[in-house]
Structure 1
Amino acid sequence: MAAAPPPPPPPRDVFRNCWGCRLVCGLGLLGAGGYVFASARSVLRRTASAPSFGTVAQMVFALGLASWGVVVLVNPEQKSQLK
């Protein structure tokens, strides 16, 4: 009886292991978050009244984009795997 063939190697996940890809995507998301936040901030500076719901939602969205960029840069999934 012949031995079973060895299991195939796990597929390479190029996009998660490529430092350049993570750097470009992470900085792009951080930049997009900064741009959205700056545009919401400019609306706040022009008006003397309390911020509207849309402006607050825009700031929360900017915070989400920026935090997503940090997660892409830090890549906690790869660091949490036990070896």
Structure 2
Amino acid sequence: MSTPTEAPRKGADAPVSKTNQVFKSCWSCRMLSGGGLILSGAYVYSIARRVMRQGGPTSMGTVAQITFAACLAAWGVVIVTDPVGRELKRT
């Protein structure tokens, strides 16, 4: 037993979260959330491109919008591919 002044130990005694495991093993959940992020990135990018096609000036806001769209799409790709979960399964 640990005393009240002692911090709880991390290690083999720590329980593993079941919800975290379920999300990582659920292919349809990853596809739905990752696909949603990729599509939202495409939407944000198309809005920024529409302003540029209409002859509007390329401002810092438009550049930030395109950067944000790229980040959304990259986040979606990471969720779909799950590189960390795949690496943990190999070891």
Structure 1 residue 15 and structure 2 residue 9: aligned? no
- In 2, distance between residues paired with 1:32 and 1:48? 23
Which residue does 2:64 correspond to in 1?
57
User: 11-20 or 24-33, which moves further after superposition?
Assistant: 11-20
Structure 1 residue 28 and structure 2 residue 67: aligned? no
- In 1, distance between residues paired with 2:50 and 2:35? 22
The structure 1 segments of at least 4 consecutive aligned residues displaced by more than 3 Å after TM superposition are: 7-11
- In 1, distance between residues paired with 2:28 and 2:37? 14
Aligned residue pairs total 76
- In 1, distance between residues paired with 2:16 and 2:56? 58
Give ranges in structure 1 of 5+ residues lacking alignment: 1-6
Which residue does 1:3 correspond to in 2?
none
- Deviation by residue 1:22-79 (Cα, 9 ceiling, x = unmatched): 0000100000000000000000001254x10000000000000000000000000111
When the two structures are superposed, what TM-score results if normalisation uses the length of structure 1?
Answer: 0.82
Counterpart residue type for residue 75 of structure 1: D
- In 2, distance between residues paired with 1:67 and 1:25? 13
Cα–Cα, structure 1 residues 44 and 10, in superposed 2: closer, same or farther, change >3 Å?
A: same
Give ranges in structure 2 of 5+ residues lacking alignment: 1-12
When the two structures are superposed, what TM-score results if normalisation uses the length of structure 2?
Answer: 0.75
